[in-house]
């Protein structure tokens, strides 16, 4: 077991205060968006003065256990994420799409750090985020019947001309999805001429403001949140095609401890808040708007899953053991597993798999008989698969990331 130093990533949407406050540090002028704990080549964490990549390479079997046989290194990337503004509207490719896209861009001679590069590696990027604060997000295409209800409330003439692309769907479509209808409308909107797009967005936003300003109207809370979100996004990115995309997405607000899971192809964007995020070890992002970065609409459409999603929230499985409340977040993939531990006493960390522990609250002592680490909020420990038993003691909150 060794102390693992996370790498801070500065992006325009990041917070100047949230990660600093969590670590007990003074805020700076920099927007701290993410802190990476892992072995991704773009920003590998440090063990002392060495990267975790180098440490793993010294003895892959000891570090990764059975995972070493796959020859792909540490299969997950753990992050602290702090958003003060909306992230880009985006989706991630499947493993097959990532392999094909990565090879294609390599063959074309596109540098890995080129601004217009889509595929930074050949891996997929399913991801799970657990809220540390109230956390807002857009996630998955909303069921068609609900979107039709929203359009009815908007009563926007400029929007009505597109309603034929999203016909009334049967009630069971909420569960089964209405991908073809959503695909037709989304692809139409992202390809209309800029002037027509701006005109449509202006009309939709004006209708949204009218609904929100009319205190006499009884409008469901989910609709108010969705319409407020559209107005706010247009203020940040006026006339951006991502505003139209957001009009079709579920708008969610997670409370601390609640989780959101997104598989390949799910269109989404985090809006604001602080959370712990874990994903397959990848940085592949296809963007569709709400950003100054490269947007590749044809490539995005290729990876999107247009089936509607009723709710992307993921329920945790809670257990109480002596000294800890343990919440596991089950995901349908084998690259990672994430467990939240509310410690008030003593808890033994399961061994035999590569593990990263990050403390998000309080002070916790980690002891494997050979090494003792005092972990404070924002600090992490690397536990290789071949490590001896690790015992945690103290009072605080930790997240334990492992290979599933």
* Residues 311/377, Cβ–Cβ less than 8 Å: no
Which residue's entry shows tokens 């990337």? 77
Cα of 348 vs its chain's centroid, Å: 29
124 known ligand binder = no
The backbone region for 313, taken as left when phi is positive above 0, alpha when psi lies in -120 to 50, beta otherwise, is beta
**Exposed, middle or buried, 21 (CB in 10 Å: 0-12/13-18/19+)?**
middle
Encoded tokens for 384: 């290789």
Could you confirm whether 23 is annotated as catalytic? no
Encoded tokens for 107: 């063959």
322 known ligand binder = no
**Exposed, middle or buried, 387 (CB in 10 Å: 0-12/13-18/19+)?**
buried
Distance, CA of 170 to CA of 154 (rounded, Å):
21
Distance, CA of 267 to CA of 199 (rounded, Å):
24
Catalytic residue among 104, 287, 325, 340: 287
268 known ligand binder = yes
Q: Binding site membership: which residues?
A: 90, 92, 127, 268
What is the set of active-site residues?
A: 287
Q: Binding site membership for Zn(2+): which residues?
A: 90, 92, 127, 268
């Amino acid at each position: 077991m060794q102390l693992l130093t996370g790498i801070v990533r500065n992006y325009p949407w990041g917070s100047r205060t949230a990660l600093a406050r969590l670590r007990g540090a003074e805020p700076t002028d920099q927007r701290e968006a993410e802190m990476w704990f892992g072995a991704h080549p773009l920003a590998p964490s440090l063990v002392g003065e060495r990267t975790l990549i180098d440490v793993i390479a010294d003895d892959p079997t000891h570090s990764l256990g059975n995972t070493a046989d796959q020859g792909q290194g540490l299969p997950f990337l753990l992050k602290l994420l702090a958003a003060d503004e909306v992230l880009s509207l985006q989706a991630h490719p499947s493993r097959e799409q990532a392999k094909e896209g990565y090879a294609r861009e390599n063959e074309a001679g596109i540098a890995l750090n080129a601004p217009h590069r889509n595929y930074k590696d050949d891996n997929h990027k399913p991801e799970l985020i657990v809220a540390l604060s109230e956390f807002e997000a857009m996630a998955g295409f909303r069921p068609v019947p609900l979107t039709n209800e929203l359009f009815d409330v908007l009563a926007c003439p400029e929007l009505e001309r597109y309603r034929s692309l999203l016909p009334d769907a049967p009630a069971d479509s909420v569960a089964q999805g209405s991908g073809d209808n959503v695909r037709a409308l989304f692809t139409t909107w992202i390809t209309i001429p800029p002037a027509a797009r701006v005109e449509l967005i202006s009309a939709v936003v004006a209708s949204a403001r009218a609904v929100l300003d009319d205190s006499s109207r009884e409008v469901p809370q989910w609709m108010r949140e969705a319409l407020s979100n559209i107005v706010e996004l247009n203020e940040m990115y006026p006339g951006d095609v991502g505003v139209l995309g957001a009009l079709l997405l579920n708008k969610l607000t997670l409370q601390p401890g609640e989780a959101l899971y997104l598989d390949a192809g799910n269109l989404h964007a985090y809006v604001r808040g602080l959370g712990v995020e874990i994903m397959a070890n990848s940085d592949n992002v296809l963007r569709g708007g709400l950003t100054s970065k490269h947007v590749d609409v044809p490539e995005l459409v290729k990876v999107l899953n247009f089936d509607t999603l009723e709710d992307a929230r993921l329920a945790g499985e809670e257990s109480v053991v002596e000294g800890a409340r343990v919440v596991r977040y089950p995901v349908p993939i084998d690259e990672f597993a994430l467990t939240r531990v509310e410690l008030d006493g003593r808890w033994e960390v399961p061994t035999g798999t590569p593990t990263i522990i990050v403390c998000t609250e309080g002070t916790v002592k980690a002891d494997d008989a050979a090494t003792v680490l005092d972990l404070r909020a924002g600090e992490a420990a690397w536990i290789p698969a071949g490590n001896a038993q690790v015992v945690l003691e103290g009072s605080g909150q930790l997240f334990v990331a492992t290979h599933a």
